[in-house]
Amino acid sequence: MSGTEKRTVSLAPENAAFIDAKIKSGGYVSGSEVVRAGLRALQERDEAVERWLMDEVAPVYDAVKEGKSKTFPVGDVFDEIRARHISGKANA
């Protein structure tokens, strides 16, 4: 593969075993392929979190900051969840 840089990494035994199992299963031909796939997945996850923060969290934060959205104390929210959970168990 052109344009690659070699790196040396240390892995926990369970990580090395995971890579070996992926190669043995035939899904990958080398440890480098497994690591590249893992890095792509990590990049995709990071991009998804960034999109979620920008598209969903930031607008809600801005609305709360501008007084356009109501907030609730976290203790009250958890009390309500616990109450619903307990009443749901009683009905089961």
User: pLDDT tens digits, residue range 10-25?
Assistant: 999 999 999 999 999 9
Condensed to tens digits (0 to 9), the pLDDT of residues 19-74 reads 999 999 999 999 999 999 999 999 999 999 999 999 999 999 999 999 999 899 99
Which pTM does this prediction carry?
A: 0.68
* Predicted pLDDT at 90: 56
CB-neighbour burial class of residue 35 (10 A; exposed 0-12, middle 13-18, buried 19+):
middle
Instruction: Tally Cβ neighbours within 10 Å of residue 15.
Output: 14
- Contact between 23 and 29 under an 8 Å Cβ cutoff? The reply is yes
Read off the tokens for 11.
């892995």
pLDDT of 1 higher than 70: no
* pLDDT at 3 exceeding the cut of 80: yes
